[in-house]
Chain A
Amino acid sequence: SQTIHQWPATLVQPVGSPLSLECTVEGTSNPNLYWYRQAAGRGLQLLFYSVGIGQISSEVPQNLSASRPQDRQFILSSKKLLLSDSGFYLCAWANPAWGEKLFFGSGTQLSVL
């Protein structure tokens, strides 16, 4: 069976500090991978989308970046966090053969102070 791991679950960071969130998927190959952000009480904002190693589509211009160094690993980074980067970050994977049904990780609650 397939599983998705996302860590850490919570993170408190000062403004201007770096960020690295990691997501890994097990039990499948060549998944499509997503990073979403959800502000309190809001919907999911798509940040990055990847269909393969090194292939990253950026949806929102901002101080975040993403990388996919391995087939089932997706990393979200920032060199300098802003207050506005606070939110609930969700990684998700999809099997392209399954009609792009998304399966989400447990999320990271990031607070930038």
Chain B
Amino acid sequence: QKEVEQNSGPLSVPEGAIASLNCTYSDRGSQSFFWYRQYSGKSPELIMSIYSNGDKEDGRFTAQLNKASQYVSLLIRDSQPSDSATYLCAVRRTSYDKVIFGPGTSLSVIP
């Protein structure tokens, strides 16, 4: 079982719709969770971080964490063509551990 798993996509949504990106992780003791966005040929940039169960909102982005189900998601409201990118889920197990990435989900927002 891979440590961090994501659907590879591509996920296509129409402009203005909600895009839902999902991620599962294998280590139940994981403590820190991140979503990064990566445009083609560019380096990843941090969108959201979440550390406790529940929802965390930042503008059009909402991260959701459910540690019991070992599941973290990212919702993008009012999707824009500029949101078209690959979204990487990342997990850190403990405060002294490294960050592990999932394979990423490609999102395409259709005008």
Kindly state the interface size class of chain B when it binds its partner. 20 to 34
CA distance A96 to B95 in the complex (A): 8
A residues in contact with B103, CB < 8 Å: 42-43
CA distance A57 to B97 in the complex (A): 11
A46 to chain B, nearest CB (A): 6
Whether the pair A43, B101 counts as a contact (CB closer than 8 A) is yes
Instruction: Give the contact stretch, choosing among A66-74, A75-83, A103-111.
Output: A103-111
Given contacts A44-B88, A99-B49, A99-B51, contact A104 B101 (CB under 8 A): no
A residues in contact with B92, CB < 8 Å: 100
For A46, give its contact among B44, B88, B96, B98 (CB under 8 Å): B98
A residues in contact with B45, CB < 8 Å: 104
Q: Is B34 an interface residue (CB 8 A)?
A: yes
Whether the pair B49, A101 counts as a contact (CB closer than 8 A) is yes
29 contacting pairs across A/B (C-beta < 8 A): A34-B98, A36-B101, A42-B103, A43-B88, A43-B101, A43-B102, A43-B104, A44-B44, A44-B101, A46-B98, A49-B98, A51-B96, A57-B98, A59-B98, A90-B43, A94-B99, A99-B32, A99-B49, A99-B51, A100-B92, A100-B99, A101-B46, A102-B36, A102-B46, A102-B90, A102-B99, A104-B43, A104-B44, A105-B43
Identify the A interface with B (CB < 8 A). 34, 36, 42-44, 46, 49, 51, 57, 59, 90, 94, 96, 99-107
Beyond known contacts A34-B99, A99-B51: 16 more, CB 8 A cutoff = A34-B98, A43-B88, A43-B102, A43-B103, A43-B104, A46-B98, A57-B98, A59-B98, A99-B32, A99-B49, A100-B92, A102-B36, A103-B46, A104-B43, A105-B43, A106-B42
